[in-house]
Amino acid sequence: MSNSFELTPVEKDVTQLAVCVRGGCKVYGRGVNAATVLKSIDLNVPTGAIYGLLGASGCGKTTLLSCIMGLKNLSSGDIWVLGGPPSLKNGNKIGYMPQQISLCEGFTIRESMTYFGWLAGLSSEKIEERAHFLMRLLDMPPIDSTIGNLSGGQQRRVSFATALLHEPELLILDEPTVGLDPILRESIWTYLLELTTNKSVTIILTTHYIDEAHRADVIGLMRNGVIISEEAPQQLLTKFRVNTLEEVFYRIIITKTEPSVTKRLRFPQTARETTTSNGPALNKHVLKALVWKNFLWMWKNIITIVSIFVLPIASVFVFGSCIGRSPTGLTVAIVNRETEVRTCDLLACHDKSLSCHFLRYLDRKALNLVYYDSEDEAIWAVRNGTLYASIVIKENYTESIEYRLRNRDVADFLIDQSTIDVFCDYTVKDIVMYLKKYIYTSFADFIGDYLEACEISRETVAVPLRVSVRCMYRS
């Protein structure tokens, strides 16, 4: 061991400890569903010591470490960490290696080191220097290796390196040597002992290796959310008069021996009044690290990012192209009994082929006009679904429409001759609606231009109804 630490039940100031917990309780849920994870726990971690926290899975070790880190709040009790209540603002002073790997698998080792180094406020040069040192210490893969391509043990070494990167005052390591070979474990322990001896770094670690626990300065044995023993390894061996820590742990668990060294230390008033901070201070280096990390992630997942932005735009475009615009290219049958001429000169007053001009206006609506000689054939094609509609223009259309425009008293047969018959396929009513619109607007444009060619106002044949475009709202 690096130093000799002896816990004695005497009153002294809590600030002499790196970490101290008094009466700590943590409860999840409420009422009948409440689960108590920490039960009035007491913890004493001297400054510059290695504190080995031992206990079975599910006894509350990780929850206790999270409360010390400031990631979670105790339901009741007090915690003192590095001279004050736990806070995420102390992130530069604390190095944390969680039990679960919390690295971005798409990043390289270099990028992960850069991100965590910038979070701690280190310069790029210092990060590079520390990264190469830790790579040699932990026997890590090449620095440009992608995290997701590493084995579980290699990923844990990278996680360990990020905790050591900024040389913190307090190291909290949750199972740091799991999956490592004995030689590398020995190298890591040598470095940890050097940190506590030469730099007074305080280390809290959890482990299942008994031989590692023997090298800690203080051992805390945790069971069912309670620290049932907290002493130096040699003191435990002497107290129980055994040769191995395995026998000590067995006797403590069997006899449920409670610690006789609980120290009721005086907490400063500020420790009780100050609550755990819910978030770190957003200073420049933290903002820089977060922005860089997110832009780097987006660059490495450029296809996903492009899809997020492009797919909605493409969906709107496809929807607008297929549904949001008026249909074109609708096939319509034309039966023009007045003339076989399909090309017309400019529209003029007293023109002899108004039917040709009307069809020219209709053709501007991007309809596909198919000419038929027989009205029956055209209607049959509509019924068979070949065409959407048929338009029939009678023999004396031009003469009839001109007479109808200039006279008030018009015979029924002239009204019939001047009327264009339209037969539609009503299977798709939306198409019929658009066809009616195309035909109505085409005829309105055609007849209006014809009247103006005859020096008559086009308003003469307009519907005598005016709807105001001014917006009015109820008061």
Which of the residue ranges 2-6, 331-335, 348-352 would you say has the lowest mean pLDDT? 2-6
pLDDT of residue 262: 46
Q: What is the mean pLDDT of the chain?
A: 83
Q: Taking the mean position of all CA atoms in its chain, how far away is CA 283?
A: 23
CATH for the stretch 330-454: 3.40.190
The pLDDT assigned to 3 comes to 54
Helix (H, G, I), strand (E, B) or coil at 86: coil
Query: Check: CATH 3.30.390.10 for 48-73+85-260+282-296?
Result: no
Which position has the higher pLDDT, 8 or 23? 23
- pLDDT tens digits, one per residue of 30-64: 877 888 888 888 888 888 899 988 877 788 888 88
Q: Is the pLDDT of residue 380 over 90?
A: yes
Q: Of the spans 53-57, 79-83, 229-233, 382-386, which averages the highest pLDDT?
A: 382-386
The residue to which tokens 């949001």 are assigned = 324
**pTM score, two decimals?**
0.61
pLDDT at 331: 93
Judged by average pLDDT, the poorest of 22-26, 278-282, 326-330 is 278-282
Confidence of residue 470 (pLDDT cuts 50, 70, 90): low
pLDDT reported for residue 14:
64
Say what the pLDDT of residue 245 is: 80
Domain residue ranges of the chain, discontinuous segments joined by +: 48-73+85-260+282-296, 330-454
Q: Is the pLDDT of residue 227 over 50?
A: yes
Which of 135-149, 174-188, 286-300 tops mean pLDDT? 135-149
